[in-house]
């Protein structure tokens, strides 16, 4: 039994979720679907339940942002760029950006409705994890 | 209007000078939440049986933003046919006056209820929603998108996601007044109502349909039904739309018009794509019938910069033509 548990733990460490999508603890929402998150970060929808949501992106091309775009949005950089160019003509802007995971976490802690992604190791009891990838 | 134009252009100049954030072509300049600015232009070369010509066609500036979490706006001024040169007879034309292409506000109340009011693109189908050259994959537009329903609406559009659905959007729109700035209106009217639905089946695939009625300034009453579908992955795009319209005229028999197109595009790299389109158009009232096949090539060194070439074969052979264009969104 022990070797199996060690194997499963190693598998979890190797293949488990690297990043968590976090929201304020005050929000009653506990889980969301990938499609809901995708629609929020593509600015197609603006609410979860009755709460107005503020999506936060990490600035630049950090690994977590690339991972989020591929795993959750399901779009590579070129496709996402084409999407936002078209949205620019429609009068829609991408989500606001933050300079670091720390600032995303601080924003989420202080602003009800803010949603962002951080490394799972940063997701402590001060925020609520609603999705992992 | 002249005052607005000068102010907007001055503002854009100032913003490009002062803004410190890195600028990304095709995304506009974001000054703050309440002000984003951008614009676009397109130029075309056309060669047909009658003439060869060059046109600096659309020159436009736009501004948009969120005034508060519930209210946003968009304003766009455009000059169409900014400069035209006919190489065959040497004539030149220039239309440098800017007109209000879109001016509207959005009052967002929930994902299921948004009210757009003002002059806006009619929320019908796919082609009509991305009407500018740089966003299209061919220089030309299908006749379907130009001749059978008003491309613009000056009125109200109640829109949003249908509650309890994953990706079904609705638009319930209406106009009961003259168009704001009729300069580039394809079908001037004072009565236009409709309902459009779009179902986003997956990230790649969606389908849509709409019904509507409009009465033109010449008292032509037209009712139409339209449907379309779109598939788009990183390599292939398929797009098909069709429309049937029934028109009534004062003291004339009613007539029908049918139009539709199917377009396929293959992107063999992010920059290069080949496009083909087959289109059918038949308007009994004007007695204009044509079948058009288009083969085109698109090169985008960057997505907001589009170089395109196409050749059109028409069943009305004297309409055959070659088109080339360069367009940029900034």
At B175 the pLDDT is 97
Q: Shortest CB distance from A74 goes to which of B69, B110, B203? A: B203
Residue B5: pLDDT band by 50, 70, 90 thresholds? low
CB–CB contact A93 B74 (8 Å): no
Residues of A with a Cβ under 8 Å from any B Cβ are 35, 38, 45-47, 52, 74-76, 78-79, 81-82, 84-86, 88-91, 93-94
pLDDT at residue A111 above 50? Answer: yes
Query: B228: which 2 tokens?
Result: 């379309």
Q: Shortest CB distance from B135 goes to which of A81, A86, A91? A: A86
User: For chain A, which domains are there?
Assistant: 3-132 (3.40.190.10)
Tens of pLDDT, residues B8-29 = 555 555 445 444 457 889 999 9
CB–CB contact B166 A35 (8 Å): yes
Other CB atoms within 10 Å distance of the CB of residue A2: 6
pTM for this prediction: 0.88
Residue A19: pLDDT band by 50, 70, 90 thresholds? very high
pLDDT at residue B149 above 50? Answer: yes
* CA distances for A45 relative to A73, B10, B54, B167, angstroms: 14, 34, 42, 10
Contacts of A52 in chain B (CB under 8 A): 69
Gap from B18 CA to chain A (nearest CA, Å): 20
Q: Which of B280, B279, B330, B276 is nearest to B306 (CA)?
A: B330
Sign for the pseudo-dihedral over CA of B183, B186, B189, B195: negative
Tens of pLDDT, residues A44-78 = 999 998 889 999 999 988 899 999 999 999 999 99
Other CB atoms within 10 Å distance of the CB of residue A27: 19
């Amino acid at each position: 039994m022990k070797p199996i548990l060690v194997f499963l733990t190693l598998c979890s460490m190797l293949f488990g979720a690297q990043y968590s999508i976090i929201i304020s603890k005050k929000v009653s929402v506990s889980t969301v679907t990938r499609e809901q998150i995708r629609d929020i970060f593509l600015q197609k929808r603006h609410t979860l339940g009755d709460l107005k949501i503020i999506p936060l992106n990490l600035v630049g091309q950090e690994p977590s942002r690339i991972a989020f775009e591929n795993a959750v949005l399901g779009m590579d950089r070129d496709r996402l760029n084409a999407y936002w160019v078209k949205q620019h003509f429609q009068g829609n802007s991408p989500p606001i950006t933050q300079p670091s995971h720390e600032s995303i976490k601080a924003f989420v802690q202080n602003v009800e409705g803010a949603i962002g992604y951080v490394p799972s190791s940063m997701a402590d009891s001060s925020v609520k994890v609603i999705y992992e990838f | 209007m002249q005052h607005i134009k000068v102010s907007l252009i001055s503002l854009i100049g100032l913003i490009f000078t002062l803004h410190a954030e890195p600028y990304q072509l095709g995304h506009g300049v974001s000054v703050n939440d309440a002000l984003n600015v951008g614009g676009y232009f397109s130029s075309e070369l056309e060669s047909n049986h009658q003439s060869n010509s060059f046109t600096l066609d659309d020159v436009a500036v736009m501004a948009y933003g969120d005034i508060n979490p519930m209210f946003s706006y968009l304003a766009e001024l455009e000059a169409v046919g900014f400069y035209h040169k006919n190489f065959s007879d040497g004539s030149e034309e220039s239309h440098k006056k800017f007109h209000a292409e879109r001016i509207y506000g959005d009052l967002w109340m929930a994902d299921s209820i948004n009210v757009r009011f003002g002059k806006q693109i009619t929320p019908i189908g796919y082609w009509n929603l991305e009407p500018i050259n740089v966003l299209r994959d061919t220089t030309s537009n299908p006749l379907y998108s130009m001749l059978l329903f008003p491309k613009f609406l000056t009125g109200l559009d109640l829109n949003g996601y249908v509650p309890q659905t994953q990706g079904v959007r609705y638009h319930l729109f209406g106009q009961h007044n003259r168009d704001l700035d009729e300069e580039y209106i394809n079908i001037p009217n004072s009565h236009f109502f409709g309902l459009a639905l779009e179902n986003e089946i997956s990230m790649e695939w969606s389908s849509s349909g709409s019904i509507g009625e409009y009465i033109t300034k010449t008292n032509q009453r037209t009712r139409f039904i339209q449907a379309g579908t779109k598939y788009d992955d990183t390599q292939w795009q398929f797009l098909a739309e069709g429309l049937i319209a029934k028109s009534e005229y004062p003291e004339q028999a009613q007539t029908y018009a049918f139009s539709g197109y199917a377009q396929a595009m293959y992107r063999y790299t992010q920059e290069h794509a080949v496009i083909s389109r087959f289109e059918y158009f038949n308007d009994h009232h004007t007695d204009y019938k044509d079948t058009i096949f288009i083969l085109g090539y698109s090169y985008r060194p960057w997505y907001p910069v589009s170089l395109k070439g196409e050749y059109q074969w028409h069943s009305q052979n004297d309409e055959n033509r070659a088109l080339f264009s360069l367009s940029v969104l900034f």
